[in-house]
């Protein structure tokens, strides 16, 4: 029987995977650093090589899905050491453990490894040039995994949201229901992505033994949007009357420099895994319906 360890199991992606894994015959173990009420969590810190190594050996893990990361892009600018530990050192540790165990490591990376100067969807082999501490450490994590000689898949994704934790969709649901008018940036363009899409790909690859060779893949929902379009769609789907107005990034000065264009080319993931990707607005509708059904 397959034995899978998921780290960061209480985050957005980890929680979506946990829900999908209920329909699996494999043995899934969900770990995180902090317990969440009502959720069975194995406490494992991905920076603790000994503890993770022991767990992998004891439970004969054959696949590690690393959903844990330092994901606070703004906070990272003032917290390089912690961000580097979680986004570069920890994947290096997990890759070393995977190599020794002969396990497959699935590592998640980001569109923030690119500088945003592209004007057409970005393929996997485009040169990386991260602009922020978050982007730099995530890219260093990729390089560590690639250099480790383990079996790996790296999935680069973007603009993740879900019914769980804090994210742009949930913030905009609240703001567009409370405010008369909001401004949202229109000069950063990418693709809003439901964590369910990425979780479904990971689940499909594991359940159906689709790993053939090491590789890096781009996976977001389909289509293109600015943060303004994303916020507008949230307000519209929710039927909120708030007026959403476009503005430029300099209206909201931030510490971390973000790419202006980070639409990812997904031809490779579709060709190699036969994966069907939803259009971003359809995936957003599904997520909002799920959030509302919980209320
Ligand atoms: N969110 C996005 O927009 C986005 C975009 C592109 C790529 N990604 C990547 O996608 C992946 C999943 O993102 P996400 O949004 O699901 O992240 P998330 O919701 O922030 O979840 C990350 C989880 O990792 C946990 N964690 C933190 N430190 C840990 C440690 N030392 N050991 C074990 N677990 C630890 C966190 O716990 P605490 O909450 O207690 O810290 C949290 O439960 C990440 O690799 C991220 O870089 C995300």
Q: How confident is the model at residue 84 (pLDDT cuts 50, 70, 90)?
A: very high
| pLDDT value for 37 | 87
Q: Where are the alpha helices (DSSP H) in the chain?
A: 12-21, 49-58, 73-76, 80-84, 90-101, 133-147, 168-178, 195-207, 227-238, 267-273, 280-294
| pLDDT value for 11 | 97
Closest CA to ligand 1's atom 31: 45
Q: Quickly count: other Cβ atoms within 10 Å of residue 289's Cβ.
A: 11
Measured between alpha carbons, how far is 242 from 16 in angstroms, rounded to an integer?
Answer: 30
Give residue-wise pLDDT tens across range 5-47: 999 999 999 999 999 999 899 999 999 999 988 899 999 999 9
- Encoding tokens for residue 253? 């000065």
Average of per-residue pLDDT across 58-68? 98
CA 87–ligand 1 middle distance (angstroms):
10
Q: What residues act catalytically?
A: 134
Measured between alpha carbons, how far is 253 from 236 in angstroms, rounded to an integer?
Answer: 27
Average of per-residue pLDDT across 234-261? 96
Average of per-residue pLDDT across 236-250? 97
| pLDDT value for 272 | 98
- In angstroms, the Cα distances linking 171 to 31, 76, 163, 164, 255 are 27, 20, 11, 12, 20
- CA dihedral for 143, 146, 150, 152, sign (positive or negative): positive
Measured between alpha carbons, how far is 26 from 59 in angstroms, rounded to an integer?
Answer: 13
Radius of gyration of the chain (CA): 19
With the most atoms of ligand 1 within 8 angstroms of its CB, the residue from 15, 35, 44, 67 to mutate is 67
- 3-166+193-222+262-278 placed in CATH 3.40.50.720: yes
| pLDDT value for 75 | 97
Average of per-residue pLDDT across 130-157? 98
Instruction: Give percent of the chain with pLDDT exceeding 90.
Output: 97
Q: If you average pLDDT over every residue of the chain, what do you get?
A: 97
Ligand 1, CB within 6 Å, residue ranges: 7-8, 10-13, 32-34, 45-47, 67-69, 71, 86, 108, 110, 138, 157-160, 165, 195
- Encoding tokens for residue 287? 């997520």
Instruction: With a cut of 80, say whether residue 289 has pLDDT above it.
Output: yes
Q: Which residue has the tokens 């912690």?
A: 82
Measured between alpha carbons, how far is 224 from 172 in angstroms, rounded to an integer?
Answer: 18
Compute the half-sphere exposure of residue 105: CA atoms within 13 Å on the CB side of its CA: 31
What lies within 8 Å, CB to CB, of 147 at 6+ separation is: none
Q: How confident is the model at residue 295 (pLDDT cuts 50, 70, 90)?
A: confident
CA 122–ligand 1 middle distance (angstroms):
23
| pLDDT value for 50 | 98
Q: How confident is the model at residue 61 (pLDDT cuts 50, 70, 90)?
A: very high
Average of per-residue pLDDT across 143-166? 97
């Amino acid at each position: 029987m397959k034995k899978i360890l998921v780290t960061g199991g209480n985050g957005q992606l980890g929680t979506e995977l946990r829900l999908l894994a209920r329909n699996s015959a494999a043995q899934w173990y969900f770990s995180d650093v902090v317990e969440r009420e009502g959720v069975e969590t194995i406490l494992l810190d991905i920076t603790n090589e000994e503890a993770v190594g022991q767990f992998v050996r004891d439970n004969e893990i054959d696949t590690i899905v690393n959903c844990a990361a330092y994901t606070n892009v703004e906070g990272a600018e003032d917290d390089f050491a912690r961000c580097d530990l979680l986004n570069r050192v920890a994947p290096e540790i997990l890759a070393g453990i995977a190599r020794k165990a002969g396990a497959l490591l699935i590592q998640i990376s980001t569109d923030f490894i690119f500088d945003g100067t592209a004007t057409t969807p970005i393929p996997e082999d485009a040169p990386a040039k991260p602009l922020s501490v978050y982007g730099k450490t995530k890219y260093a994590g990729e390089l560590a995994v690639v250099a480790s000689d383990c079996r790996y898949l790296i999935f680069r994704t973007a603009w993740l949201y879900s019914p769980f934790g804090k994210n742009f969709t949930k913030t905009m649901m609240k703001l567009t229901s409370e405010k008369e008018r909001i401004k949202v940036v229109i000069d950063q363009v990418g693709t809003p992505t439901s964590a369910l899409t990425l979780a479904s790909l990971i689940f499909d690859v594991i359940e159906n033994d689709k790993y053939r060779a090491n590789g890096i893949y781009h996976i977001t929902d389909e289509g293109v949007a600015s943060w303004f379009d994303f916020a507008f769609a949230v307000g519209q789907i929710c039927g909120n009357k708030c007026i959403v107005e476009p503005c430029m990034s300099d209206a909201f000065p931030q510490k971390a420099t973000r790419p202006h264009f980070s639409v990812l080319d997904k031809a490779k993931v579709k060709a190699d895994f036969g994966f069907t990707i939803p259009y971003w607005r359809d995936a957003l509708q599904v997520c909002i319906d799920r959030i509302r059904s919980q209320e």
